[in-house]
Structure 1
Amino acid sequence: MTDNSQLSAAQGGLDGTSPPAPRAPLSSWTWREIAYLLSNFPLGVAAFLLVVVWLTLGLGLSVTVIGLPLLAVGLMVCRQYGRLERARARVLLGVHVPEPSALRPRDRGFFPWLWTCLKDPVAWRHALFTFIRLPWAVFTFTLTLVSLFVAWPVLPWVTRWLSNVDRAMVRGLLSPSDELERRIAQLESDRATVTDTVAADLRRIERDLHDGAQARLVTLAMGLGLAKEKLLEDPEAAAAMVDEAHGEVKLALQELRDLARGIHPAILTDRGLGPALSALAARCTVPVTTSVDLPERPAPAIEGIAYFTVSELLQNVSKHSAARRAEVEVWRAGDRLLIQVRDDGRGGARLDGGSGMAGLAERLGSVDGLFVLDSPVGGPTRVTAELPWRARTGG
């Protein structure tokens, strides 16, 4: 009889009279959600009280010299509170919300900082979050506590529903304002890249002028001065010096032309990308074929970036690829200008390989462009660049 009873119990209620199987333990995610919902109450009350006291003092004292600075400092604290809440949601709810861009006053000084803080939409939304959060925190704390001790079977569903509302609240009020703010942060980074690039170009131009044309012109001036002194006493020597100075003038002019071509070639301005790239290909040490299919000319800035991108890529082909031939194609696809440079060299080029590829990628990225490098070891190498198409305006 005892054996039959044990067998019936082991069979888990096949006759419908045995108790149900033991309930599975709550998942780790459910426990995290419970911890989040229960901790909402103390944090929500503390944040609400701080914000109420801060706003009351700041607005009440706004007619004095300390009111507005107090509001600004409080808004900075609200930003830090938002960072804390994002971290808590990331750890306990698995919600990954990007950090808003940092405050950057346009000018230095107290008043630009004060104005930037007072009109910060991110901080004000974080302050609003504390007001909306308090009644919700009270409700979720009570319901979670009751479900934890009284309504255990429905606890996983209750916590999931409540925490999903919290997830939506965090995404809505604690995320960056919108795509525009994320774009602003990206453009600020791109602006730094452009600034560094322009500074490097200016240093290069200054170095080329100092070491090239300027030094040659100084030598020319000294030679003409000596020729002037010898003009009466030794006309033949003076004539030889003038001939030598004439040669120096030609070299100086050529160096200045090369330097001007490096800034913005005249052929690009006058005739466009097709002839300009053909001229580039003619100067390359590797045979290059070019194909430019553009129904119209893009904006001068886009033309310039495209030209110098191809110029640097062809320099890499000459210096590093050991290629026998290369090809350059340029065409328009929708609102994008596409460039592809291929060579049959040894390949192995990398963005971090010191060949200037990383700099090109940064330059294109700064104008919302793309740079894709495909260069397996053994070749061939294919570089594809995209630029935004912007219509040419004016003459």
Structure 2
Amino acid sequence: MTARSDERTTPMAMDLDHPLDRPARQGRPAHRVPTALRAPFEIRTWREFTHLMLNLPISLLLFVFALVTLSLSAGLLITFLGIPVLASSLAAFRGFGALERLRARAFLRLDTEAPEPLRPRAPGLMSWVGAVLKSGTSWRHLLYGLLHFPWALVAFVVSLVCWSTAWLLFLYPLWHWALPAYADNPGIQLYGDSDGDAFYLDTPFEIAGTSVLGLLLVLVTAGLIRGFAHMDRVMVGGLLGPSRLATRVVELESDRGVVVDTAAADLRRIERDLHDGAQARLVALAMGLGLAKEKLHEDPDTAAAMVDEAHGEVKLALQELRDLARGIHPAVLTDRGLDAALSALAARCTAPVHVSVDLTQRPAEAIEGIAYFTVSELLQNISKHAHATHATVDVWHTDNRLLLQVTDNGHGGATLHHGTGLTGLAERLDAVDGLLVVDSPPGGPTTVTAELPWRE
């Protein structure tokens, strides 16, 4: 086996242009105007500008509340009241955080999940106070209240001054007439001195130049507003959302549930196959041999025929047991690895399958088994649903990940949604930090790429 170069596209990179997102993107009309030129006139920019304008009064309120409550709780620490006051202020900041997440969702289109809730160990005030003080989420909300005010002040002043000035200059040809009519000036005054010398922007060329300069400032300020808004998204997502550790714990709990459910389903399948298949056949075999034993002396020819029939049943039972054992973990996979095991799978597919396995070493047994059963499931889908005339299976290793890709020229239309078999397969891969990407437009071809962690 030879090593495969890393020039292939992995699902990690494909996530930037996810196949499931392509139909939606293809349905949108392509903009002929560049984003930088559209930005000042888009609703998004004005929403983000409104968010920045609301930042100052709200962050000022939070900042003052934080200083007052921290000072009050620090002053009361010599008494018992300081700790409950501090816990109450932290709980209030968690409430403020919920409002800030709603505001970010409305104006920034940032959907931030709520952080993990408080979990007091026992009912009662002191248990609640301890849970609030031990919660890192509470302190991150307080930190948001302290840090957001200076940032909001800078963003408010810069955005308001630049945005208003830029639009006033850009629209100068529309309102310059008001200066001589109401301000007794021929135009915008650039400078003036005590001797009466002054320079005004009042000629057509100067008015047009001012408008062009204003347009440039409008374009630059629109990008600046979006940059300020992005910084707000970072602060809200980093300080008011769930911590990475808590998110990872939730993911692991979900993955553990998937693993437990999958194992239970596999055990039920094995029990059902044994009960309905080999066990029923062996019961019938035992009954047939019993009847043959009774007829052995009375009718040897009939007994011999019954023994011969029982011999055929034994062969069928052994084949069913071999198939069942192969479904649990095939011996060829343990003895010879993925290349031989996948070749054996391909031989049983209804469509011709070309298998290419380029691995310099074998991954961990668990990962190898998951890769095998993933390909097995995908080839079964090709046999049952795809109506394909050709398929390929490629397996390679890159960046501590095991990649496998199954492609067929069938009619397409495969999806991860609506509870299909691919949905369960994606959940199994996700339980081991894997990934499944499906690209299957109507009419085909279908390409399914799976990514698994490489563990030796």
TMscore range, shorter length: 0.5 to 0.7
Task: Measure how far apart 1:324 and its partner are.
Answer: 1.4
Q: Distance in 2 between matches of 1:288 and 1:334?
A: 27
2:406 equivalent in structure 1: 341
Contact 2:118–2:131, Cα closer than 8 Å, also in 1: no
Q: How do residues 80-95 of structure 1 correspond to structure 2 at under 5 angstroms?
A: 81=95, 84=98, 86-87=100-101, 90=104, 94=108
Aligned partner of 2:101: which letter? A
Is the contact made by 1:194 and 1:363 (CA closer than 8 Å) also made in structure 2? yes
Q: Summarize the Cα distance change of 1:100–1:78 in structure 2 as closer, same or farther, 3 Å threshold.
A: same
In 2: Cα distance, 1:58 partner to 1:232 partner: 99
Aligned in 2, Cα 1:341/1:58: closer, same or farther, shift over 3 Å? farther
Find the partner of 1:265 among 321, 324, 330.
Answer: 330
What is the TM-score normalised by the length of structure 1?
0.67
Contact 2:69 2:89 in 1 (8 A): no
Matches within 5 A, 1:33-72: 33-37=55-59, 39-40=61-62, 44=66
Which of 376, 379, 384 matches 1:314?
379
Among 317, 326, 330, which residue is 2:391 paired with?
Answer: 326
List runs of 5+ in structure 1 lacking aligned partners: 1-26, 61-69, 145-151
Distance 2:308 2:90 in 1: 72
**Does the 8 Å CA contact 1:302/1:390 hold for their aligned counterparts?**
yes
Shift of 1:44: 4.9
RCO (CA 8 Å, sep 6+): is it higher in 1 or 2? 2
1:176 to 242, 265, 284: 242
In the alignment, does 2:362 pair up with 1:297? yes
Taking a change above 3 Å as real, the CA distance of residues 374 and 264 of structure 1, as seen in their structure-2 partners, is same
2:257 alignment partner, one of 192, 196, 202:
192
2 CA distance for matches of 1:54 and 1:233?
Answer: 103
Given that 2:110 and 2:233 are in contact with CA atoms closer than 8 Å, whether structure 1 keeps it comes out as no
Residue type of the alignment partner of 1:217: L
| Among 239, 250, 275, the residue aligned to 2:340 | 275
| Match of residue 375, structure 1, among 429, 436, 440 | 440
Which residue pairs with 1:32 in the alignment? 54
Deviates more, 1:190-199 or 1:93-102: 93-102
Q: Offset of 1:41 from its aligned partner?
A: 6.9
Deviation at 1:205, TM superposition (A): 1.4
Alignment pair present for 1:253 and 2:301: no
Question: Displacement of 1:295 after TM fit?
Answer: 0.7
Q: Is it true that 1:238 corresponds to 2:303 in the alignment?
A: yes
Aligned CA RMSD, in angstroms, stands at 4.6
Q: Give the C-alpha shift of residue 244 in structure 1.
A: 1.9
- Match for residue 126 of structure 1 among 132, 138, 146: 138
Q: Deviations over 1:233-267 (max 9, x none)?
A: 33333332222222212111111110110111010
| Residue pairs, 1:208-227, within 5 angstroms | 208-227=273-292
The 2-side partners of 1:244 and 1:279 are apart by 30
**Mapped contact 1:48–1:131 kept (Cα < 8 A):** no
Q: 1:339 to 1:168 in 2, by over 3 A?
A: closer
Q: CA deviation at 1:74?
A: 8.1
**Contact preservation (8 Å) 1:317, 1:323:** yes
Structure 2 residue runs without a partner (length 5+): 1-48, 162-224
C-alpha contact 1:48 1:130 (8 A) present in aligned 2: no
Q: SS at 2:135's partner residue?
A: helix
Partner of 2:379, secondary structure, is: helix
**SS state at 1:350 partner:** coil
| 2:350 matches 1:285 | yes
* Aligned partner letter, 1:244: E
Query: Which residue of 2 is the match for residue 387 of structure 1?
Result: 452
SS for the counterpart of 1:330 is strand
Distance change >3 Å, CA 93–CA 238, structure 1 → 2: same
Which stretch of the first structure deviates more once superposed, 83-92 or 182-191? 83-92
Decide whether the 8 Å contact of 2:72 with 2:82 is kept in 1: no
Letter matched to residue 138 of structure 2: H
What is the aligned residue count?
A: 335
Shift of 1:39: 4.0
- Equivalent position SS for 2:395: strand
Q: Share of identical aligned residues, percent?
A: 54
Q: Provide the rounded CA distance (Å) in 1 between the counterparts of 2:299 and 2:82.
A: 90
| C-alpha distance 89-42 of structure 1, shift in aligned 2 (>3 A) | farther
Q: What is the CA-CA distance between 1:92 and the residue it aligns to?
A: 8.6
Rate the CA distance shift 1:358–1:92 in 2: closer, same or farther, 3 A: closer
